[in-house]
Structure 1
Amino acid sequence: MKFDFWLRTALLISVAFLTSVLFADDLRSRATMQDVQLSESTPYDNRAIIRFDAQGNGYIAWNVQKLDHIPDHGVYVARYDAEQGRASETFVYIRDQYMLDMVAPNSESVTLLLQRREGLDRYDNADSNTYFQFQNSYNVLDIVRFSTDGRELFRIALVGNNGVDAGAYFLCRMSSFARLGFDGERYSVYAEYCTNNTSERTPDVHEGDYFVQIDARGRKVPDTEDHLSASHSSISSIVIPDQNETYTMTIGDGSPYGLQVRRYSSGRKIFT
């Protein structure tokens, strides 16, 4: 009886060890397959995002930062083969813009949050205030949908297209954080942005968060915009557990101080 016990124990340990080795080898082989070279240049903050549609088709979007020695800077989108760990030929290229997030609402299109520059020439190096040193900065937040053959289906400017003077909302600097979700009917956008409370040369700029919903045709859903609920917000996140149900999370430094979670149902704020 003791012999059977120890024999069974030894066999179980051997099987467990062999399984763990095989599993680890499988993980290593799969991880190796995911090394995808997207660009020969490696400037700072080259963000890359992989998303899958409901049918399991993969898409990858990445940025090539705007620097003097890189002519082909901008946003690239391609199909992504998860089994082979390979990106195919790009079907979207947008020069002189910057990708923040992407979703794949179906097998025929992708939707991106993009930053672009508009109307900032007179502010370049205007003074020592970092918010207004807009050289190589992008102030407009767009949501843009593309077909998988590269056609632009819609584009809407969410903030920043009214300039950066008093009372305007705009993206503060390159690489602001923003999140994009889709529940089957509506897109939810949650972003960090800024507002300017004065038109003087020494601006009074404050950072906060921004929420809005967009319908599938690219129109703002009425009464869903929510401005500046958290001061100096950071690490923004968004979760969509069900249709017409969205949760946002951010961290504030004063109003509030700490973690803020909000729930939106059909675009209406339910709690903070």
Structure 2
Amino acid sequence: MLTMDIDKDTYANKPSVTFSVHFQWWKRPSGVAAVCLGLLCVLLLAGIIGLSVYYKLQTSSNTLTIERDQLQTSSNTLTIERDQLQTSSNTLTKERDQLQTSYNNLAKERDQLQTSSNTLTKERDQLQTSYNNLAKERDQLQTSSNTLTKERDQLQTSYNNLAKERDQLQSSYNNLAKERDQLQTSSNTLTIERDQLQKERDDLMRKFSNLKQTCLEGWQKFESSWYLLSSVRKPWEESRQYCLERGADLVIINSEEEQVRE
């Protein structure tokens, strides 16, 4: 804006012109346009920065979401594998306990028939050690995801060992059952033989008692036997029948002393 002031007092004396110029650039159209342009640049720069930050945040969020999903999937997979191994471990533990019960029963029977306990004691200690190891591995299943992976391999190894031990226990069970049956058969046979010997002994005692009661004059005693000397000659069958009728039998010479005694 241009302003001109004219001094009226000095105008008569001498011609004088004074110009006062004040430049207010923001009031000009070009100044307003420059201010608007600057503001637009600032807004545009702020928008670009905001979009850049938003894009980076969105990218980071997506990346974190993908990583979280992957970790969740990995955790779920490991949890499923852990549960499966835990189930297998529990099943094997139950089978082992059942086999242990059968084994202890057979060990008791074998001890009663064979009186052997050292080997069974050692096997029982081995089973106790295996049980403690299995309990320790079960506790280790409660740790983190990395530990779960390592423990999964350990449980797999333990599973194989338990399966092998189960087969060994099954074989031992079968062997013990076979031994028990054999010992039972031997016991039955010995019982029958004992009864037969008992019967023979009773028969001999009865014969001896009868012989002792029916001894007449002429009978002679040598050690635990009684002898009757006959002067009558008869065939062997008649002689034996004669002896049997008196509760005795024909003499059988077993020693020189017995021959001299006769």
Fold similarity call, TM over 0.5:
no
- Larger RCO: Structure 1 or Structure 2 (Cα < 8 Å, ≥ 6 residues apart)? 2
Instruction: State the TM-score, normalized to the length of structure 1.
Output: 0.20
Instruction: State the TM-score, normalized to the length of structure 2.
Output: 0.21
Structure (1 or 2) with the greater helix fraction:
2
Q: Which has the larger radius of gyration?
A: 2
Structure (1 or 2) with the greater strand fraction:
1
